[in-house]
Amino acid sequence: METDAADYDVAVLGAGLVGMALAAALLREGLRVALLERTALAAFEGPIGADDWDQRVYAISPGSAEFLRGLGAWQRLAPDRLQPIEVMDVHGDADGAIVFSAYELGERALAWIVENRTLAAALIEIVRTLPGLDVLAPCTPDAIVWNADAVRITLAEGRSLSARLIVGADGVRSWARREAGIAREPQSYGQTAIVANFATGRAHRGRAFQWFIEGAGVLAWLPLPGRRISIVWSAPDALSRELIALDGATLAERVAAAGGRALGELKLLTPPAAYPLSFLKLGSVVAHRMALVGDAAHGVHPLAGQGVNLGFGDAAALAAVIGSRGPVADVGAPIHLERYARRRALPVLSMQIVTDGLVRLFSVPTLKLARNRGMGIVGKLSTVRRLLAQPALR
């Protein structure tokens, strides 16, 4: 393939939140970008009722919010659908506890709770209207051929396109990753996240809760606007099957009881959904003329709510590296990919060590006394609390 034969500088495979954000960020660097997605980009349309809340929400960190604001996406979110987390109560499976406060950390919020559909709609509006960004959706990538100067992607529809760099943003079971010969598969935690939204008997006042429950995984309550919460119960698979089969009233009772009725009685607002949980750690997130971002690059347990934030961090880092490439104009050159990999290695590894370590620590019954005593000690040390919180904020 000739040096001047590439149709695009970058082809992004996968139009999830991270893929769309990356495509928009790259276009702002003056690049020719194609965004490929197997399904149509269909934003939620129509009026949203007062109790019509998306089952899937994200805790967007202040750092991710800044990145999205720079793309013009954050400003498109309706203020009355955003909820700041101002305090986070974390409880062990005995008397251990840690409280994180946005005020103590000098932040407006520890994170912002945002619905998946509203954030997706904002990003879809951006990628559809940005001049110079070609969106191919729906399309079915069928094969990738790597050459010295470019990469050619063949679509099942018969079309093909070439790019200097391809980015796999196509999820934990990434097709792009497999095509590149990175065969590592996610490792199941043996847990499934049960997510649902509830009305609460008492006001949450911007407070989130998390409980490590002996033999029952991790339960998180995330505040929504008004007297509402979204829950993520990372439960052992057997328990998750039991929970998902319950009627609404019984599930609300189980969730309220598991959280010590911290917000009074609960009432189910949305049917529960289930998401299997897995861990993914790769030897490298780059290959010849390819980079991986988001869930295609790493998988973490949701107990810290950092999965999508790590993905936005990947997107911001890759766009920054390419934007400052200097005299090496080729966006797929090894020097740029190595810089990206180095920049993301420590933040991702640190989060994986913390989240995976906590899951494993709380699965060993004989360590119950030690882990709860440790939580109690850390909870009394403001400097340590700030050190623990900083990576999640940025």
Region 142-154: mean pLDDT is: 95
Partnered with residue 84 across adjacent β-strands are: 112
Identify the CA nearest to 217 among candidates 191, 253, 243, 183. Answer: 191
pLDDT tens digit sequence for 304-353:
788 899 999 999 999 999 999 989 999 999 999 999 999 999 999 989 98
Region 63-71: mean pLDDT is: 97
Region 9-34: mean pLDDT is: 96
Region 50-54: mean pLDDT is: 81
Q: What is the domain count for the chain?
A: 1
pLDDT confidence of 379, banded at 50, 70, 90?
Answer: confident
N-to-C CA span, the chain: 41
Percent of the chain beyond pLDDT 70?
A: 94
pLDDT confidence of 384, banded at 50, 70, 90?
Answer: low
Containing structural domain, residue 347? 3-43+52-393
Residue 1 has pLDDT above 50, yes or no: no
Angle at 46 between CA 44 and CA 52, to 5 degrees: 75
Q: Is 227 helix (H, G, I), strand (E, B) or coil?
A: coil
CATH number of the domain where residue 167 is located: 3.50.50.60
Q: Report the run of H or E that residue 337 belongs to, with start and end.
A: helix 334-361
- Rounded to 5 degrees, what are φ and ψ at 86? -100, -25
- Range of weakest confidence among 197-206, 222-231, 350-359: 350-359
